[in-house]
């Protein structure tokens, strides 16, 4: 279930609702747990889980946690900067950059996270357990480990070399390049005459 309220700036998606029964002396006590993803569609996304005796209360708790614990997803254009694996429990999730126009090739919790974050083109694959709670956590494990070019440069201590500061490679003008060719053509007839004599 996906919802975007007019009053809210967030895209809210209910990924999964699970009913839990606790057996007690007087019978069974039912409660519900929910996992929700929320994002602003421009690179910020978060997820939350909530438990309550009623479904709306569980969703509300999860939504508040998702908005409170958002992260920033680095993007290049409309896709991810590089390929990465995410792990949580028995679940592994692969996220790969895609060409513009490919769309979000994902399902379940992975699609909810990518669309809420504003990622437009991505290829994904889930390996192992497909438990919705584990899948969402594995996706966020991958997103937390994404690195931008600037971050890699900072870690390596490298500086960005500006184009204007690049060393001059001594490009020759067209006249300088043409002069040796003209001289070579002028010498060819003399060698042919010498060969004929």
Tell me how far apart the alpha carbons of residues 58 and 90 are, in angstroms, rounded to a whole number: 25
Bigger pLDDT: 168 vs 122: 122
Lowest mean pLDDT of 6-20, 80-94, 152-166, name the range.
Answer: 152-166
Q: What is the pLDDT of residue 4?
A: 53
pLDDT at 80: 92
Residue 157, pLDDT above cutoff 60: yes
Could you report the per-residue pLDDT of 13-46, keeping only the tens digit for each?
999 999 989 899 989 999 999 999 999 988 899 9
- Taking only the tens place, the pLDDT of each residue in 158-191 is 765 444 444 444 444 444 545 555 555 555 555 4
Domains and CATH numbers, the chain: 2-153 (3.30.230.10)
| Cβ–Cβ < 8 Å for 21, 30 | yes
Measured CA to CA in angstroms, residue 49 lies from 67, 114, 126 at distances of: 11, 18, 21
pTM reported for the whole predicted model? 0.72
Stretch (H or E) spanning 193 = helix 174-196
């Amino acid at each position: 279930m996906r919802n975007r309220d007019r009053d809210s700036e967030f895209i809210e998606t209910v990924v999964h609702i699970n009913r839990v029964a606790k057996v007690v002396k007087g019978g069974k006590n039912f409660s519900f747990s929910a996992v929700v993803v929320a994002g602003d569609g421009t690179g910020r996304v978060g997820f939350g889980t909530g438990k309550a005796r009623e479904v709306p209360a569980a969703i509300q708790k999860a939504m508040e946690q998702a908005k409170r614990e958002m992260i920033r997803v680095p993007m290049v254009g409309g896709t991810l900067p590089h390929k990465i694996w995410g792990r949580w429990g028995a679940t592994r999730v692969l996220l790969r950059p895609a060409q513009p126009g490919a769309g979000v090739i994902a399902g379940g919790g992975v699609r909810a996270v990518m669309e809420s974050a504003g990622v437009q083109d991505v290829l994904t694959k889930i390996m192992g357990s497909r438990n919705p709670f584990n899948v969402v956590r594995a996706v966020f494990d991958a997103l937390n480990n994404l690195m931008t070019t600037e971050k890699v440069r900072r870690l390596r201590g490298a500086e960005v070399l500006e184009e204007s500061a690049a060393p001059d490679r001594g490009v020759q003008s067209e006249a300088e390049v043409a002069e040796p060719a003209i001289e070579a053509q002028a010498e060819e007839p003399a060698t042919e005459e010498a060969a004929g004599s």
